[in-house]
Amino acid sequence: MCAVCGCGEKKSYLGKFGHAPGMNASRMIRIERDILGRNDARARENRSHLDERGIFALNLVSSPGSGKTSLLVRTIEALKERVPIAVIEGDQQTSNDAERIRKTGIQAIQINTGKGCHLDAHMVGDALKKLDLMDRSLLLIENVGNLVCPASFDLGEHRKVVVLSVTEGEDKPLKYPDMFMASSLMLLNKTDLLPYLEFDTGQCIANALEINPDMGVIRTSAKNCDGLSEWVSWIAEKLA
């Protein structure tokens, strides 16, 4: 598991001495700082590489089942004639999402994290070497479904975008504040289901803005394309 977030990476750093004498709180903090320090150094390398080529990278984060992949497919269909796009897919197992993305006609690479519950900068850096990226293009990174760990790990992206489904509850931003604080935009997704749910949209948005007053909010639905044009315009503005 990871010393930072308790995921499956911690074993590689702490497994052999996690319960050993002398493993006190200060030692744990030093290990966490080392892990994040190495990650952040690689993230800076990734971002520098992308900047040199004019590639804009988005890191999409959410709970499992928020509809990220379906929304990505719609996004790609709306943008692929305007800008070259590539996708990095993160999941613990399977290549199902990458295969869905490839059906749109663009390149996608799958990263399986095993017991790990987030992508890190080293994984993304290795994936960048395998992708045939074009200059002045768009890179979409779909992180592992998790609202905790990905908040701490910079991948070298230019913006984090958090996707929150209306099926999850209005208090998610308050329960997982670090992720909403780290994100530039919240996509409130699956709005087509609102007639069938007891979900207070206004309260959810208020909770999110209480955590991060500077965060943008767009209501979206991959099923009926609500909010898609606004989302695509937001990306186009950042690309420019």
| pLDDT tens digits, one per residue of 58-112 | 999 999 999 999 999 999 999 999 999 999 999 999 999 999 999 999 999 999 9
The answer to whether residue 4 scores a pLDDT higher than 80 is: no
Q: Which tokens belong to 198?
A: 């007891």
- The secondary structure of 191-218 as a DSSP string is GGGGGGS---HHHHHHHHHHH-TT-EEE
Range in 17-26, 147-156, 178-187 with the lowest mean pLDDT:
17-26
* Ranges of each domain in the chain: 10-239
Q: How far from 53 is each of 95, 108, 135, 136, 148, CA to CA, in Å?
A: 28, 19, 5, 6, 31
Instruction: For residue 107, give every residue at least 6 positions away whose Cβ sits within 8 Å of its Cβ, in sequence order, or none.
Output: 86, 87, 131, 132
Please state whether the predicted TM-score (pTM) of the whole model is above 0.85.
yes
How is 143-154 classified by DSSP, letter by letter?
Answer: --S-SSGGGT--
Identify residue 152 by its one-letter amino acid code. S
Q: Which of 35-39, 149-153, 182-186 has the highest mean pLDDT?
A: 182-186
Judged against a pLDDT cut of 60, whether residue 8 lies above it is answered with no
**How confident is residue 34, by pLDDT bands cut at 50, 70 and 90?**
confident
CATH topology of domain 10-239: Rossmann fold (3.40.50)
Please report which helix (H) or strand (E) contains residue 109, including its range: strand 107-112
Res. 173: pLDDT tops 60: yes
Which pLDDT belongs to residue 60? 98
The pLDDT value recorded for residue 28 is 60
Cβ-contact 183, 172 below 8 angstroms: no
Rounded to the nearest 5 percent, the helix, strand and coil shares of the chain are: 45, 15, 40
Per-residue pLDDT for 204 more than 50? yes
Q: How confident is the model at residue 27 (pLDDT cuts 50, 70, 90)?
A: low
pLDDT digits (tens, 9 = 90+) for 217-231: 999 999 999 999 999
